[in-house]
Amino acid sequence: DSGVTQTPKHLITATGQRVTLRCSPRSGDLSVYWYQQSLDQGLQFLIQYYNGEERAKGNILERFSAQQFPDLHSELNLSSLELGDSALYFCASSVEGQVDTQYFGPGTRLLVL
Amino acid sequence: EDQVTQSPEALRLQEGESSSLNCSYTVSGLRGLFWYRQDPGKGPEFLFTLYSAGEEKEKERLKATLTKKESFLHITAPKPEDSATYLCAVQGSNDYKLSFGAGTTVTVRA
């Protein structure tokens, strides 16, 4: 158990809908990262938040957004969903020191029908 | 842009048959190279961080090594429970994101 929690574990929805994925980092970690894992793309970095502020962005679609709240939990919002958004979504957290080991949560499996 | 290439894509081993996985990388200023283990449908589980060329780390039957261009994960006398996908990732000096390779799926038969 990494100490990172994610809810829900599974999500099934229809095209055009909007969903919210939630992540709670390990105790003491200030950084939260979101990654997408699909069969053809592997693990891809989406976005990083550090202590409530956006720190870095990867190839995140404009339909996707995220935020980190004062209690440090984070939410990833996916809107206008398409079939191709079906994937595993992982959250990771770290202290963000000189070298940054990221610990991953169990993931949310999203299926868009 | 950081790039990570892992080989082979898949590896089938007999129990006790040692082997090595390769991770080649290009990165702008290596902050760290990471190895993770991932079981199907689960999140990546952290194994090792390597910081500089020449460094080695061990954990049970796994040993990771690092050069300036690549890293190896050696599996000694594997057991069926070592079956998993092993992911390599790099972190460059420009930011803290991880760039992952596609992984090597290892299957160990009893």
pLDDT at A39: 82
Residues in B closer than 8 angstroms to A104, CB to CB, are 36, 43-46
pLDDT at A41: 81
B 3-62 residues with CB below 8 A of A?
A: 31-32, 34, 36, 41-46, 49, 51
Would you give the DSSP letter of residue A59? S
Euclidean distance between CA atoms A113 and B24, whole angstroms: 37
Contact A42 B32 (CB under 8 A): no
> DSSP per residue over B99-110, as a string?
EE---EEEEEE-
Express each pLDDT in B49-84 by its tens digit: 999 999 999 999 999 999 999 999 999 999 999 999
Residue of chain B whose alpha carbon sits nearest to that of A41: B102
What is the rounded average pLDDT for all residues in chain B? 96
Contact B32 A100 (CB under 8 A): yes
Contact A33 B98 (CB under 8 A): yes
Residues in B closer than 8 angstroms to A55, CB to CB, are 95-96
The label of the residue with tokens 């991880």 reads B98
Whether residue B103 lies within 8 A of chain A, CB to CB, comes out as: yes
pLDDT confidence bin for A86, thresholds 50/70/90: very high
Express each pLDDT in A38-72 by its tens digit: 987 889 999 999 999 999 999 899 999 999 999 99
Whether residue B105 lies within 8 A of chain A, CB to CB, comes out as: no
Sign of CA dihedral B75, B80, B81, B85: positive
Sign of CA dihedral B90, A21, A37, A106: positive
Give the HSE-up count for residue A20: Cα atoms under 13 Å, Cβ half-sphere: 7
Task: Say how many CB pairs under 8 Å bridge A and B.
Answer: 67
Q: Tell me, rounded to whole angstroms, the distance of Cα A105 from its chain centroid.
A: 9
Contact B51 A109 (CB under 8 A): no
